[in-house]
Amino acid sequence: MIKRLVFLLAAALLAVSCFAAAATENNSFVFSEVGLGARSAAMAGAYTAISDMESMNWNPGAVGLLDQASLALAYTKWNLSTGFQNILFNYPMGFGVAGLNISYASMGSTDGRDDFGNLTNKSVDASSFSGSLVFAAPVNKFASAGGAIRFFSQTLAGESMYSVLLDAGLYAKIADNFTAGFGVKNIGFTQDTSGVEAFSLGGSYVTDPKDQNRLLASVDVKYSLAYGTAGNLGLEYTFFNDYKLRAGYELKNENNYLSSLPGLSFGAGANISGIEADYAAVSYGDLGLMHTVSVSFKFAGMAPQTNVYERLVSTLAGQYMADAMDASDEGNYEKALRKLESLKSIMPDYAGLDEKMDETRKLMDQSGLKAKVEGLFNIGMDYYMRGKYQDAAVKWEEAKKYNPDFPGINAWLKSARKASEHGIKAEKSEVCFKNGMNYYNKCLYNEALATWEECKFEDPSDERLIFLRGKCKEMSDKIKVKEGEAEKYLNGGEFVEGVKKVRVILTLCPTSEFATEKLDALKGSISKQVEKYYSDGLEQYTNEKVVESIQSWEKVVELDPASNTAASARENIEKAKKKLKNLQLLK
């Protein structure tokens, strides 16, 4: 990520440098030296890599990750009766952040003179009005890009002129305490000329973002056709989380012509009951100090806290977790682990994910041993039902080695050995029991129970019957619940969820008439939905809607997992997950 960002910033810097070198010396744009608020003014405009409402003036891309609506009012007072009033507002809209700035500057009035320098007994007023519309959007979880359209109208002695300008910028969080930014200013048109006027490259570092006492340092390198190259340094020390002291220095050519510490700035700020109040003073040497005060408010809850892209990823993550829980409840730990791994691939920081994966792996290991024992037992049962009692006893002995506490294993062994010793007589005594097992193997649990109730066993407390009666009730109840859920989803229009529940029934009982009949009746609808979701996924992926494409292809796999279309969907899902990683810079 860092290498890509450095390369991107370097390329942008080189491109703008070449453009600036080729521009004409008659370019009339003036780089906006006056900030929109007291914080940026106190930090000497070292603001390219800082993200807050005032960033609209320095790097519009830096507002793309703001998650709260804000309003600010600022007033700047300079000498010669010059004053600036600013109103700033930003609003996160889910898919990006919109910002608005309105500024008015009054330069007061002075005596008018004619072409020969004589007084005309008329006063001359000078003022300007400007505004900007900003929009920035997250590129991923850590970076954003944005632009601004700015309009300037200047009036002097009744004569007016205007400028329409464009700004653009990039902003990225390199680490928790380090950010970088790149901005291009004044791309646009005036009445007489057009071009690019300035660009800036900056970085900021904070000692510990979570500490209530922290130091922020920000550095910018700027170039403008009007002023040449400048370096800006800003410092902000926060103590007790609500109080701030600031200082800054701007190193530029004009400082050589002014005395009294030109370029130096300082200020302070405080958060009082959720209201930010800030003050800044900027030295212009012989021209005096420029004072700025600003007040800002944040509207918690007025706008969504995360953008649409993050919410979609969170939705997909929630879907994977829910699917994993369902699979785990059904005893399908292998599927549960696959879902958790899918969640890990798109959101590795998901709360409690690693612990859940470890727990699922342990359950899967236990389930593997359990499945092995049950497999040996079932093979033994198959031998037993076919009269091969000695072979059945061998398999059950092996099952007992792995799990001596397997329900009724001693009773099964005793029955097999007795049948093996006494041959056909023992087999006849077990006919009733076998008839019940035939029903059990077909998932006809009620019929199996009824058959065993009619049987006359030598030992009414036979462990085999205790075990099988318990399994009959357990499986019968579980399948009944799943059948109810399937009917509920299908009748409620949740087609995919309904089909998923039907397929779960088949994993519990492959011979279930309910499940096979449902799937047969829904075969045509499933085929149509599979094609639809697969096509939707292709279209969404082509249009860079990666999260939505994964969701569509996941539905294909859930609806018809054994189809060729599902196989293609699985390949596409893996491709989309890799792309999602790159887009989010998660790895």
Please state the three-class secondary structure of 26-41 as a single string: CCCCCCCCCCCCHHHH
The pLDDT, as a whole number, for residue 12 is 39
Higher per-residue confidence, 509 vs 146? 146
Quick check: 239 and 223 in contact, CB under 8 A? no
Q: Are 267 and 278 in contact (CB under 8 A)?
A: yes
Task: Please give the residue that has the higher pLDDT: either 425 or 288.
Answer: 288
Query: Comparing 26 with 547, which gets the higher pLDDT?
Result: 547
Task: Give the percent of the chain with pLDDT over 70.
Answer: 81
pTM of the model: 0.50
Give CB contacts under 8 A, 24+ apart, made by 516-521: 518/486, 518/490
> CATH 1.20.58: which residues of the chain?
524-584
Q: Which single residue is written with the structure tokens 């007992």?
A: 400
pLDDT of res. 110: 64
Q: Note the CATH architecture for domain 2-111+125-305.
A: Beta Barrel (2.40)
Q: Are 552 and 540 in contact (CB under 8 A)?
A: yes
Average pLDDT for 399-421: 81
Higher local confidence (pLDDT), 6 or 358:
358
Task: Kindly report the backbone phi and psi dihedral angles of residue 407, in degrees, each rounded to the nearest multiple of 5, phi listed first.
Answer: -55, 125
Tell me how far apart the 2 most distant CA atoms of the chain are, in Å. Answer: 137
| Percent of the chain residues past pLDDT 90, beyond the cut | 27
The pLDDT assigned to 157 comes to: 62
Per-residue pLDDT tens for 12-26? 333 333 333 333 333
Q: 154: which strand partners?
A: 128, 161
Nearest to 74 by CA among 102, 99, 46: 102
* CATH 2.40.160.60 segments of the chain: 2-111+125-305
pLDDT at position 457 is 55
pLDDT of residue 213: 92
Residue in the structure block whose two tokens are 């294993």: 409
Q: Tokens 């190193």 label which residue?
A: 251
Position 587 pLDDT exceeds 50: no
For domain 524-584, give the CATH number.
1.20.58
More confident residue, 471 or 175: 175
Looking at residue 123, what is its pLDDT?
Answer: 66
The pLDDT assigned to 328 comes to 82
d(CA 392, CA 249): 89
pLDDT for 164-178, tens place per residue? Answer: 889 999 999 998 899
pLDDT, tens digit (0-9, with 9 covering 90-100), for 343-399: 887 778 788 888 888 888 888 887 778 778 878 888 888 888 787 888 888 888 888
* Residue with the larger pLDDT of the pair 200 and 580: 200
Model confidence over 185-230: pLDDT tens digits? 888 655 554 566 788 999 999 998 888 899 999 999 999 887 788 9
How confident is the prediction for the chain on average, in pLDDT?
80
pLDDT confidence bin for 311, thresholds 50/70/90: low
Mean pLDDT of 242-250: 94
2/137: higher pLDDT: 137
Q: What is the pLDDT of residues 52-81, one digit of tens each?
A: 989 998 999 999 988 888 999 999 987 766
